[in-house]
Amino acid sequence: MPNPFDIQRSESETSMAVRGSLDINTAPQLAEEIDKIVASKPKKVVVDLSGLDLIDSSGVAALMKLYKGIRGTGGTVTMNGARDQPLAIFKLLRMDKVFNL
């Protein structure tokens, strides 16, 4: 199974692009990467969700883990590009307001 995400790090920010499905099968792999990202304490994380087609509760939990972890270390998280089913889920959970989507 190919990686459902790409992570790029620079001195000024960490960017992550999530694509395909973020569900019970792929969220644990992303959660491991999120632990590494949070441990490095970046000041800014940008998440591109434009390639994300489907998300379930485990995927939402992984993104919340990222959000809370980075905010907890004084950093900022920007999520953009959510569309279709993922955007509908974020709106249903009222997380579109949290993530500023």
Q: Is the pLDDT of residue 47 over 60?
A: yes
CATH of 5-98, one of 3.30.750.24, 3.40.50.10800, 3.30.300.180, 3.40.50.620: 3.30.750.24
Distance CA 26, CA 14 (A): 20
pLDDT higher than threshold 60 for residue 1 = no
- Of the two residues 82 and 100, the one the predictor is more confident about is 82
Tell me the average pLDDT of the chain: 94
Q: Which tens digits make up the pLDDT trace of 49-65?
A: 999 999 999 999 999 99
Smallest CA-to-CA distance from 65 within 16, 19, 21, 101 is with 16
- For the chain, domain boundaries: 5-98
Q: What is the pTM of this model?
A: 0.91
Q: Is the pLDDT of residue 30 over 90?
A: yes
Q: Which residue has the higher pLDDT, 5 or 4?
A: 5
What does the block give as tokens for 24? 């019970």
